[in-house]
Amino acid sequence: MYRTHKRALALGGALIAATLVLGSGFSPRSAEARYVRNATRTNVNANVNRNRNVNVNRNYNVHRDVDVDVDHGHYHPVARGVAFGAAATLTAAAVGSVVNSLPPSCSTTMVNGLTYQNCGGTWYQPRYAGTQVNYVVVNPPR
Amino acid sequence: MPAVTVVFACGCIHVEKQPTVREPAMVPASGRQPTSRPEAASQARTESAAKSPAAPAIDPAAIQALERMGAFLREQRSFAIRSDTSTDDVLDNGQKVQFAEVVEMWVKRPNRMRVNVVSDAKRRQSFFDGKTFTLYSPRLGYYATFDAPPTLRELIDVAEQRYNLEFPLVDLFYWGTDKSGLKDIKTASSFGRSKVGDYDCDHYALQQNDVDWQIWIQRGAQPLPRKLVITSKRELGQPQFTAVLGWNLEPKLNESAFMFEPPKGARRIVFEQAQNALRPGG
């Protein structure tokens, strides 16, 4: 179960990884459907003192900074090899969907001081979920 | 015990397969006496009675050592740390692989902190100058900020509760405080002298509900944690986190190290707020 829901994050430390999503009010299934799974999810405690905030549960969805930068000195074939393919299948992405990486060929636009990515007409807003960058599909900003 | 926590927190409907027992984690603190802690011991005994007739013990010397370390950490007004960490990742095929990361942290109490995290997968820098908190991804060029509370202690709570940001090695900021978590310890054992690199340490092992952990505390006048191993024993494969810590208790800290100036080309993004995440729109 812990593989599919919960929230998470982690600054570095827990560091390797981070993110994932969801929360209550969602059945596991719909929550799952909203996210592209491109990595393993391991819940590794990087601190002994946890659960201070009972609302937060941590899952570490390991993925790399694969989006804008192309610094791929290292490769994780099993866990991360499908990142781009998975994202690409999400073409007609519904507003509110979240992906961990962008499809190829996006252009960056700043609107009201915030960053958006226009990927073939689908607009994504990058954001930090914890320390992990992910992208939520949004209506065209104005 | 994460999953259970979520049940209580949000009334989620999807945790039915998790053990629904709320652990008796909250053993009364009962003061700070590093003595036998009978309630904790008996609590632990009850829990494990089915499996083992042996009563788990809390070695008072171990608790005492943790308290002494915590008090020493509290005394440090500024410090710098370099942590060489490795974290297990359990793949979908069950294989456990280990990834390395270096965390550097510069702290000046009560209200300055800078963190650099470098791993194979990602880089992050965070800046806290007493007013603003910024998280920056040098390779992606993204940064986000929020107005920070005035002290580190408060920042750590706000970051975690509002933005789901957990600082690395956050235990260092809790040990020696009323949030030390020592009351969560079910068993504590001492293994005596052990070297961590060049440092002569004492080795302790602790058990809590969802983690077992070990700590190596430097001997002598500076009881610093030199090594930490945390085993997530409720997770498939029991992945571990290991950190070996280098300390500088007299760092030269330049004020500019704590301030973020967006580099050319850096782009501002947003933080997902925890409350929103619990109620995703749509």
Instruction: Answer for the pair A43, A18: CB distance below 8 angstroms, yes or no.
Output: no
Specify the pLDDT at position A14: 34
Q: List beta partners, residue A106.
A: none
Whether the pLDDT of residue A128 is over 70: the answer is yes
Mean pLDDT of A10-28: 31
Specify the pLDDT at position B89: 86
What does the block give as tokens for A104?
């190829």
In chain A, which residue's Cα lies nearest the Cα of B270?
A: A127
Strand positions, DSSP E, B164-239: 187-196, 199-207, 211-218, 225-232
Closest CA to B165 of B179, B144, B150: B144
Indicate the average pLDDT of chain B: 83
**pLDDT band of B28, cuts 50, 70, 90:** very low
Closest CA to A12 of B273, B116, B144, B257: B116
* B161/A13 Cβ within 8 A: no
- Other beta carbons less than 10 A from residue A41's beta carbon: 22
Contact residues, chain B, for A128 at CB < 8 Å:
135, 142, 144, 163, 165, 269-272
Is the four-CA dihedral A34, A37, A38, A39 of positive or negative sign? positive
Mean pLDDT of A32-38: 29
Specify the pLDDT at position A42: 57
Specify the pLDDT at position A93: 74
**pLDDT higher for A104 or B118?**
B118
pLDDT digit string, tens, across residues B45-102:
444 444 555 656 999 999 999 999 999 999 999 999 999 999 998 888 888 999 999 9
Mean pLDDT of B198-224: 96
**pLDDT band of A127, cuts 50, 70, 90:** very high
Whether the pLDDT of residue B7 is over 90: the answer is no
B12 inside domain: no
**pLDDT higher for A61 or B5?**
A61
SS (H, E, C) A77-135: HHHHCCHHHHHHCCCCCCCCCEECCCCCCCEEEEECCEEEEEECCEEEEEEEECCEEEE
Specify the pLDDT at position B155: 96
Whether the pLDDT of residue B222 is over 80: the answer is yes
Instruction: Answer for the pair A44, A14: CB distance below 8 angstroms, yes or no.
Output: yes
* A133/B140 Cβ within 8 A: yes
Contact residues, chain A, for B211 at CB < 8 Å:
45, 48, 50
Whether the pLDDT of residue A41 is over 60: the answer is no
B17 inside domain: no
* A1/B3 Cβ within 8 A: yes
Specify the pLDDT at position A9: 36
pLDDT digit string, tens, across residues B242-270:
999 999 999 999 999 999 999 999 999 99
Mean pLDDT of B115-123: 91
B210 inside domain: yes
**pLDDT higher for B9 or A41?**
A41
CATH of the domain at B236: 2.50.20.10
Residue A44 Cα, gap to closest chain B Cα (Å): 6
Percent of chain B with pLDDT over 70: 77
Whether the pLDDT of residue B151 is over 60: the answer is yes
Specify the pLDDT at position B249: 98
Specify the pLDDT at position B256: 96
Residue burial B22-44, b: 16+ Cβ < 10 Å; e: rest: ebebebeeeeeebeebeebbebb
Residue B150 Cα, gap to closest chain A Cα (Å): 20
B33 inside domain: no
Dist CA B96 CA B165 (whole Å): 25
Flag the least confident range among A8-12, A96-100, A125-129.
A8-12
Dist CA A63 CA A41 (whole Å): 9
* A10/B166 Cβ within 8 A: yes
Residue with tokens 């209580």: B8
pLDDT digit string, tens, across residues A45-97:
888 875 444 333 344 444 566 543 333 333 443 333 333 333 434 445 789 99
**pLDDT higher for B219 or A51?**
B219
Domain holding B120, by residue range, is: 59-278
Residue A85 Cα, gap to closest chain B Cα (Å): 18
Specify the pLDDT at position A5: 33
B129 inside domain: yes
3-state helix, strand, coil in chain B (%, to 5): 25, 35, 40
B54 inside domain: no
Instruction: Answer for the pair B239, B88: CB distance below 8 angstroms, yes or no.
Output: yes
Whether the pLDDT of residue B176 is over 60: the answer is yes
Contact residues, chain B, for A76 at CB < 8 Å:
121
* B160/A56 Cβ within 8 A: yes
Specify the pLDDT at position B53: 53
What residue ranges do the domains of chain A occupy?
28-138
Specify the pLDDT at position B263: 96
The one-character DSSP state at A34 is: T
In chain A, which residue's Cα lies nearest the Cα of B172?
A: A47
Whether the pLDDT of residue A109 is over 50: the answer is yes
Residue A138 Cα, gap to closest chain B Cα (Å): 11
Instruction: Answer for the pair A19, A136: CB distance below 8 angstroms, yes or no.
Output: no
In chain B, which residue's Cα lies nearest the Cα of A68?
A: B140
